[in-house]
Chain A
Amino acid sequence: MELYQGSLEVKEIFGRWLDEQAASNYGAYVPFVGIIRAEDGIEALSFDIYEPILKKWFDEWQARAMERGAIVKMAHAVGDVPIHTSSYVSAVFSPKRRVALELIEEFVEDFKANAPIWKYDVKNGKRIYAEDRSTPMDGAGLLA
């Protein structure tokens, strides 16, 4: 798991991951790239991350992937990420394509629901919490 200040260097990250696994004999490498779209007049999105719980969430996913003979990778941006650049990339390596294609969907969807990351729209230099696009994590409401 990798965290970076600002936009991700997508080609460097994907190229490096590919090189790292060059001798691992995986038959499939499925990458996913999240790109900030220009909409509602935003200049950028901005992100807060709580790294200790993100790391645990990721490590649990890595263990699940390994049970299926695969590995998962991810990188995410912290702070402001301008439109048309990338804030999030992930990938799955597996011996055969089917596991990688299934896992990338499960991994990205659970990431959206349970990774401790908070998103803000940046408009006129101001950060506004993207509350309407955010999802309560599993177990939310315990203290209500």
Chain B
Amino acid sequence: MITVEFLGPINKAPIEMEADTLADVSARLKEDTELTQWLEKCAVAINDSMVSDLSVLLKEGDRISILPPVCGG
């Protein structure tokens, strides 16, 4: 089981799911029409490290963060 958390303005409770790769997570999140508009603009982190590859293998307990567009300062 892994956890997906949504940061900042997405304002959605974390989701738990079974997934072997980020591609599995992507397929699952795309089922939620509220999320599809966010996904194309959002970056992704696994256990607080930014990632750029869908084929990364996930392990039990991994925490995936979805980061929407930012504006600090």
Contact = CB atoms under 8 A, between A and B. Distances in A.
Interface string A65-109: 000000000001000000000011000000000000000000010
Interface size class of B (residues with CB under 8 A): 20 to 34
B70 A142 contact: no
B31 interface: no
Given A120-B9, A129-B9, A134 B70 contact: yes
Given A137-B67, A137-B70, A50 B42 contact: no
Interface in B27-68: 29-30, 36, 39-45, 48-52, 54, 65-68
B43 A135 contact: no
A34 B52 contact: no
A52 B42 contact: no
Contact of A142 (B22, B49, B68, B71): B22
B20 to A, nearest CB: 15
Contact of A135 (B50, B52, B71): B71
Given A48-B7, A139-B44, A143-B22, A114 B52 contact: no
B50 A53 contact: yes
A112 to B, nearest CB: 6
A116 interface: yes
Nearest to B45: A53
A113 B50 CA distance: 14
Given A115-B72, A142-B52, 14 more contacts: A53-B45, A56-B49, A113-B70, A130-B71, A131-B69, A134-B69, A135-B69, A135-B70, A136-B42, A137-B70, A138-B50, A140-B41, A140-B43, A142-B22
